[in-house]
């Protein structure tokens, strides 16, 4: 019988997916390669056949989480009609205080701390990829709103500003315990749309 051919990239994702909950239970900084090996049911030495180090494991786990979030985001907004509601969905990751979402938000917080403190080019490149994804989605939403005569043409210039506001909102939520991100977001979006929506006569 011929030996089984292992798809290294696929196996790498399987190991990361199996261990993804460890990120939330233990934290990225406290996570060890030994814990990953035990959770995956393989030897510690085998881990290094697929990953360079612990940061590489964390990066793959976050890659899976964020790709999943991107797909869920696209699925959620596909039937949403108004531009304003689509923009609110874009901010859901920051303003949703459900237990499940907070688990992912806190994971992102820890991931971001690694990106900012370590000179990890792969993580920075992936973070840029995420920003490009949401920049493209916001641009698409607003362009559709302009085409449908919902928004004034100048609204397209707000894409970078919306993305920056979302990042700022997330940062304040990460660093200030009593910050009401939802109220701040709703006030900002409602005020913004009062200014950019085409008046209906």
Question: How far is residue 109 CA from its own chain's centroid?
Answer: 10
- Asked whether residue 68 is assigned to any structural domain, the reply reads no
Residue 57, Cβ neighbours under 10 Å: how many? 25
Distance (Å, rounded) from C-alpha 198 to C-alpha 172?
Answer: 32
pLDDT tens digits, 81-93: 899 999 999 998 8
On whether residue 16 sits in a domain, the answer given is no
| Per-residue pLDDT at 5 exceeds 70 | no
Tens-place pLDDT, residues 12-45 = 989 988 888 888 788 878 888 999 999 989 999 9
Domain hosting residue 118, numbered range: 80-196
In this structure, is residue 72 part of a structural domain?
A: no
Residue 123 inside a domain? The answer is yes
- Tokens representing 77 are 């907004």
Q: Is 27 left (phi over 0), alpha (psi -120 to 50) or beta?
A: left
Residue 5 placed within a domain = no
- Beta carbons within 8 Å of 25's beta carbon, 6+ residues apart: none
Render 66-107 in DSSP notation, one character per residue: HHHHHHHHHHHHTT--SHHHHHHHHTHHHH---HHHHHHHHH
Instruction: Give domain status of residue 127, yes or no.
Output: yes
Residue 101 placed within a domain: yes
pLDDT > 70: percent of the chain: 95
Whole-number pLDDT of residue 166: 93
The mean pLDDT value of the chain amounts to: 86
How many domains does one find in the chain? 1
The pLDDT value recorded for residue 2 is 46
In the block, tokens 């109220």 appear at 183
Q: Is residue 38 part of a domain?
A: no
pTM equals 0.78
Under the banding of pLDDT at 50, 70 and 90, the label for residue 198 is: very high
Q: SS in 3 state form for 47-64?
A: HHHHCCCHHHHHHHHHHH
Tell me the pLDDT tens digit for each residue of 53-79.
888 888 888 888 888 888 888 888 888
**Average pLDDT value for residue range 167-190:** 93
């Amino acid at each position: 019988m011929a030996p089984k051919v292992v798809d290294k990239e696929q196996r790498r994702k399987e190991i990361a997916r199996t261990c993804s909950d460890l990120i939330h239970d233990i934290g990225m900084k406290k996570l060890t390669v030994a814990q990953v090996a035990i959770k995956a049911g393989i030897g510690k030495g085998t881990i290094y056949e697929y990953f360079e180090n612990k940061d590489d494991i964390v990066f793959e786990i976050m890659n899976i989480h964020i790709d999943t979030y991107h797909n869920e985001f696209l699925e959620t907004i596909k039937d949403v009609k108004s531009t304003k509601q689509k923009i609110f969905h874009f901010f859901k990751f920051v303003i949703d205080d459900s237990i499940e979402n907070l688990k992912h938000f806190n994971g992102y917080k820890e991931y971001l701390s690694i990106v900012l403190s370590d000179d990890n080019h792969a993580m920075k490149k992936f973070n840029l990829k995420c920003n490009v994804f949401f920049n493209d989605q916001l641009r698409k939403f607003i362009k559709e709103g302009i085409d449908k005569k919902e928004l004034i043409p100048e609204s397209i210039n707000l894409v970078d500003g919306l993305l920056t506001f979302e990042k700022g909102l997330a940062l304040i939520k990460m660093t200030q315990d009593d910050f009401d991100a939802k109220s701040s977001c709703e006030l900002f979006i409602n005020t913004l749309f009062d200014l950019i929506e085409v008046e209906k006569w």
